Amino acid sequence: MSEAKLSKVEYVKIASNRLRGPVDAELHDGSDHFSEEGYQILKFHGIYQQDDRDVRKARRAQGLGPDYSFMIRVAIPGGVLTPEQYLTLDRLADELGNATLRLTTRQAIQYHGVRKGGLKPLVQVLNRNLLTTLSACGDVVRNIVACPAPFADRQRAELYRYAKELSERLKPKTRAYYEIWLDGERAASLEENEPLYGDTYLPRKFKIGFAFPGDNCVDVYTQDIGIVPVVGEGGLEGFTLLVGGGLGQSHGAKETHPVLAKPLATVGPEQLFEVVEAIVKVQRDHGRRDDRKYSRMKYLVEAWGLERFKAEVERYVGYALPEARALAWLSGDDHLGWHEQGDGRLFFGLFVENGRVKENLRAAIREVVQRFAPEVRLTAQQNLLFVGLDPSNQAAVEAILRNHGVALPGTLPLVVQNAMACPALPTCGLAITESERVMPQVIRELDAVLKRLELHDGPIPHVRMTGCPNGCARPYSAEVGLVGRSLNSYTVYLGGSPLGTRLGQLYLDNVGREEIARRLEPVLEAYKRERLEGEAFGDYCHRVGVETLRERFGNLASA
């Protein structure tokens, strides 16, 4: 592709000298923010520049500029943290952040409200604790997710080992991160290169996820590359690879749309890394760089077709790839509550509403980690697992949570436990409307409808909300997806699979926030009357047809 067709961001990447400038100069320029060019490169270092949109208008009226702060994302492959690492992350929330931690849908942790002067100290403490923000954002392979449940008979440790090693292999090799944040020596530019990424890195962000067979808690079909182990009686036999998933779209670009990944091949364990690297290189060399709305790998797979894409990957690795083995799924739910690990110990899945760890919840988690030193694992559904607990401590863990007023799994409505929302306002620059701040009310209004219809004990729909169409909380693969359309208004999607294997379809557009539960009630009433035995809400909507449901109920709202 000629340089004339490159988007502006591509030129910024080229000019950055492998992710150095202008961040290296602007970090110490005395201002409270970075330039637009600096902001674009800052993302590769795991940092987003934001401002408080709640006060924009008032500050403007006072002749003031934006109230800048920064979101820092810590990349945690597979979401696995030692007790010491978690306690360090918790402490930093008070010292340099806004006293909260945000668990993300990619098993990372985000700090919000960090000021410019706190960026370097925070990164340095993270580094001393073997944690990094490098490539947690930007046009690179981002934090690699993996099913975190530590069942001994599932060889989870091996799954995590592959995820961690792959993460290390796919990190950018530039020394810029170490020079800027960790006071490392500047590398001689002629001696440094990016063998995987090149000077312009990838056309857009790139996501990889490992699922365990039958357990789709990570939404493996929404990844650029989904990886599913093949486990036989003798252990690990290989990996089935899925390609071309991605959920982001733009309201103003009709050709943008969410896509689920398609099966590419099943490869041997010894082939995994080189085949994954080859897929990344195909996207690097052929993904669109002229229009970032169409730069994700899903559009390349669609434009070429799976057969041509596979042939290109085979050309990069130098051998033919076998056909993909069939996959079957039993569950897409998170691993909440108590579970036996299979090694005599227990793990406990704790619900974290919308991933926000704050106040009494934060204090409770800290006390559990301080007293019992469990490994902490983050889930791709924004929850948290305490791993390796002695069964004798089960009652004490529950007592700590109760003493802090934290609801235990099973005591909350299931529709609340199954829900997710993105941060959105006031800090996300892409947000069109609210998500995290209104979801608690919306989901409880929907729970009231379910209780009124006596549906709260059966299969409960998974509901996900985002403040814009980028889909960070994966609303398009949910049974009920709520996507920000305009201020206080949402597009409603229905019919996704509870197993994460089917996208929902547009049901209603421009539904006011206060109308969401009422507009869903007629469909839920029909579901109660017409469902098959054991049929999930999303499966019912798909079977009947979302268009049919719109014709029947689209103009109705219960009084």
Catalytic residues: 73, 142, 205, 207, 422, 428, 468, 472
Rama region for 318: left / alpha / beta (φ>0; ψ in -120 to 50; rest): left
- Per DSSP, what are the bridge partners of residue 377? 80, 385
Amino acid identity, position 194: E
Using CA of residue 469, residue 106, residue 463, residue 413, what is the dihedral sign? negative
Place of tokens 């799954």: 159
Distance from the Cα of residue 481 to its chain's centroid: 15
Establish whether the linkage from the previous residue to 22 is cis, with ω within 30° of 0.
yes
Both tokens of residue 253? Answer: 């670009």
Work out the angle at residue 463's Cα, subtended by the Cα atoms of residues 462 and 466, and round it to the nearest 5 degrees: 140
Q: Are 279 and 270 in contact (CB under 8 A)?
A: no
Task: Spell out the residues 6+ positions from residue 176 whose beta carbon is closer than 8 angstroms to its own.
Answer: 16, 17, 18, 19, 20, 23, 24, 45
Per-residue b/e over 323-340, b at no fewer than 16 CB within 10 Å?
ebeebebeebbbbbebbe
For residue 346, the surrounding DSSP H or E stretch is strand 346-350
Amino acid identity, position 255: E
Q: What is the largest CA-CA distance in the chain?
A: 71
